[in-house]
Chain A
Amino acid sequence: MVKYDIIKINNKNVRMVPKGITNMKFSQELDKVVARMKARIEREIPDTGYFRNFAEDFVNPDEKLCAKAVSLSVERDENIDGNALLLVSVLHPFMNIDASSMLVSGKRDKILEYMKKDGFKDEVVRKIHELADSFM
C-alpha cells in the first residue's frame, strides 16, 4: 500500500507528506490558515492576563475527507495564566459536532516555536485525518 506521495522532489528539498494532501487546494488553504494563526498568536496572546479565544478556518475542498471545515484555534488555558492551547478541529459535514485535538500548550513563544518546526504541517494533516476518521 502506498502511504506517501512525494509531491516535491529536488536535490535540496524532499518532502514526504501523508496521503490525503494531494489536494493542492487543501494544502494551500492550510498554509494560509497557518500563516494567519502565526500572525494572530504573535499579536493577540499576551505574556499574562486575559485574551479572547480565536480561530482561523477554511471550508474543506477535499471530497475524500469527511469534513465540512477545518480550523486551527487558540484557547486560553483556564488553569494557567498566560498559557494557551493550540487546537486543530474538524467540523462534521452535518455541522452538529466537531472533533478536536490539542497540538501544543504553553506560552506564546513556545507555541510559535512549535509551529515553525519542520514537520508541523505534516503533523496537522495527520491529525486532521485522524479527527475526520473519528466521525466514522
Chain B
Amino acid sequence: MVSAGIIFKRFIQKPEVGLLVNYSKLLAGEKRLLCAGRVKDGIVPMDFFADLGTASIQISNDLEKHFPKAQSQIKTIFGNLKSVDKIQNRAKGPVSIEPKILRGVKSGEVNSFESAKAFVLDGIGSRVITKSLDKLDKKQIKGMIENLRINNEPLSKKQKVLLEKYIYQQKMTQAEEMEAFPLFEKFAQPLIEKRSKQVVDNLSLSIIKNRMIKEGLSIEQIKAQGLLSDDLIKRLQTEKIEPLEVTLINNYRGASGLPEFSSRQIQALRKVTGGKVIIHSRPDLADYTKFPSAGYTKDELKEFAIKPSGYRTAQMNVIHNDGTLGEIQFRGRYTNMIGEYEHIAYDLRQDKNTLGPIFNNFKSAILKLKPAEYEEYNKYLERCYNYYNRLELGLPAVKPKLPHKFDKILSEESMKKLYDANEVRLGKLKEGFKPHFEEVA
C-alpha cells in the first residue's frame, strides 16, 4: 500500500506471524521512532504501527549481528559443565520486540529509537538447562533429615515427623503444610545447591572477571572481602575466564515452590557483584520480616506469589561483552518443559492469542473459568511445577491430578499434547519457509 508516498508492507517473520512496516523507511535505513508520544492522543493510525514494526525489524537485525558473539560467550561460560544438559540461545525477533516497545511507548519510557533498543532488555535470550540429580532412596532421605540443622539446632521429633510427611507428600492440614514448608526448604537447600553448584561457580567467576577488568578489582581485594572460595580463586588465577556483567536477578518461584538457586547462593552472587545487582524476590521468603510497617504478615504476603502458576526459574539481565543486552534463564529440564506451555493459559486470559487453531477448545475452556476457579487452576499448575522440580532434585514425587470440576482439556498432560501437536504443525509450515515481505491491500 502506498500512502502519501510511503510504501507500507507486511513482514512475515514466520508462518502465521507478521507485522506491518514502513517499507520506505526501512529501505532508507532511517532509525527514528516517530510514533513515540502520539499514543497519548488516542490516535492509532496505520503509520503508528508501521513505525513500531520498522523499528522492531531494525532492532532485531541489530541483535542478529551481535547474536553469534553473545551465544559464544554463554557457551564458553556454561557449555562445558557436566551438570548442564543443554544451552539454548535466540535473538529476539521483530514480532516479539514490537509489543515490548509498544509498552515502553505507552508508559513514556520509550521516546526514541535508541531508548526503544535499550528497552528490550532480553534482546539475546539464553537458557541454561541443568541436569536432574539421581533419585534419593529412603535411607538417604532419613539421613538428611537426621543431619539437618536450623539455626545450628537439630530438628525436634515433631519437626522430623512433619518434614517426613511433607517430603513423602502424605495428607496434611493446611496449617501443617505451612509449618512444614520452611523445614522442607532447608532440607532441600543442599540438593538445590548440588544441582546448580557448577553453574553458580562459573557465573560467579565470570562476574568477578568482569569486575577485575572494569573496576580493577584485585585478587587481594577478592580474598579480603571473602568474595570467592579458595578453589574458585585458584581457578581465577589459572584458567581463562570469560567475563560477564549481571544487572538484575529474579529468582522466580511459586507460593510453595523451591527456588532454582538457594538463598545462600543468591547472597553469594549479591556479594560477588559488589552490590551493583538488583535482586527481585518474594518478601515473605526472607527468614525475617523485611517490611514490618507494610501492614501485612508473612502469611498474608504468601498469598501474593510472584507467579501464581508456580513459574520457577532463575532469570538474569546481563550485558554481553559487546554491550548487547541479554537475559539468561537457569532451569532444570522438566521445568523448562512445563514452562514452554504453562504460560499459555495466562496469555489467553490476558487476551494474548498467538496460538494456532489446535488450541481453540483449550482457549474456550480457559476463558470460561471464573476468577476463583482460575485461582484454583493456578494452584494445580503450581503443584505440577513442584512435581517436576521434585523429580529434578531426586525427591519423591506424586503427579498431581486435575480437580474433577475442570474440563479435562485443561490438564497438564493435555496442554503438553496440544503444545507438541502445535510444534509439529508449525514445523511442517516452516518447511521451505523464508521470512519475506507481503504487499498490504
Contact indicator B267/A75 (Cβ below 8 Å): yes
Q: Among residues 46 to 101 in chain A, which have CB atoms less than 8 Å away from a CB atom of chain B?
A: 50, 52-55, 57-59, 68-69, 71, 73, 75, 77-80, 83, 85, 89, 91, 94-101
A131 to B287, CA, bound (A): 21
Residues of chain B within 8 A (CB-CB) of A68 are: 291, 294
A91 to B281, CA, bound (A): 10
Contact indicator B283/A97 (Cβ below 8 Å): yes
Q: Which of A1-9, A11-19, A102-110 contacts B (4 or more CB under 8 A)?
A: A102-110
- Give how many A-B residue pairs fall within 8 Å (CB-CB): 107
With beta carbons under 8 angstroms apart, the residue of A69, A71, A96 that contacts B282 is: A96
Contact indicator B282/A97 (Cβ below 8 Å): yes
A130 at interface (Cβ–Cβ under 8 A)? yes
Contact indicator B304/A136 (Cβ below 8 Å): no
With beta carbons under 8 angstroms apart, the residue of A55, A85, A106 that contacts B267 is: A85
Contact indicator A57/B275 (Cβ below 8 Å): no
Contact indicator B291/A69 (Cβ below 8 Å): yes
Whole-angstrom distance between the Cβ of A127 and the nearest chain B Cβ: 9
A29 to B157, CA, bound (A): 45
A53 to B274, CA, bound (A): 20
A71 to B293, CA, bound (A): 9
A100 to B280, CA, bound (A): 7
With beta carbons under 8 angstroms apart, the residue of A55, A59, A83, A95 that contacts B301 is: A95
Once A77-B267, A79-B264, A96-B306 are accepted as A-B contacts, the answer to whether A59 and B280 lie under 8 Å apart by CB is: no
A134 at interface (Cβ–Cβ under 8 A)? yes
B433 at interface (Cβ–Cβ under 8 A)? no
**1/0 contact trace for B229-269 toward A, CB 8 Å?**
00000000000000000001000000000000001100110
**1/0 contact trace for B3-47 toward A, CB 8 Å?**
000000000000000000000000000000000000000000000
Whole-angstrom distance between the Cβ of A68 and the nearest chain B Cβ: 6
Whole-angstrom distance between the Cβ of A79 and the nearest chain B Cβ: 6
Chain A residues bordering chain B, tally (CB within 8 A): 38
**1/0 contact trace for B280-314 toward A, CB 8 Å?**
11110011111111111000010011100000000
B109 at interface (Cβ–Cβ under 8 A)? yes
With beta carbons under 8 angstroms apart, the residue of B267, B291, B293, B295 that contacts A98 is: B291
Residues of chain B within 8 A (CB-CB) of A73 are: 286, 288, 290
How many B residues are at the interface, by size bracket? 35 or more
Contact indicator B279/A101 (Cβ below 8 Å): yes
Contact indicator A55/B296 (Cβ below 8 Å): no
A79 to B271, CA, bound (A): 11
A59 to B296, CA, bound (A): 12
A57 to B107, CA, bound (A): 29
Contact indicator B294/A99 (Cβ below 8 Å): no
Once A54-B288, A57-B290, A95-B294 are accepted as A-B contacts, the answer to whether A83 and B226 lie under 8 Å apart by CB is: yes
Whole-angstrom distance between the Cβ of B423 and the nearest chain A Cβ: 32
Contact indicator A57/B281 (Cβ below 8 Å): no
A17 to B280, CA, bound (A): 26
Once A57-B291, A95-B283 are accepted as A-B contacts, the answer to whether A50 and B268 lie under 8 Å apart by CB is: no
Give the residue name and chain of the A residue nearest to B104 (CB).
A136
Whole-angstrom distance between the Cβ of B381 and the nearest chain A Cβ: 17
B277 at interface (Cβ–Cβ under 8 A)? yes
A57 to B109, CA, bound (A): 29
Residues of chain B within 8 A (CB-CB) of A79 are: 226, 264, 267-268
Residues of chain A within 8 A (CB-CB) of B225 are: 105-106
Give the residue name and chain of the A residue nearest to B277 (CB).
A101
Interface residues of A (CB under 8 A from B): 50, 52-55, 57-59, 68-69, 71, 73, 75, 77-80, 83, 85, 89, 91, 94-106, 130-131, 134, 136
- 5 cross-chain pairs, A with B, having the tightest CB-CB distances, nearest first: A96-B304, A102-B275, A53-B288, A69-B294, A78-B264
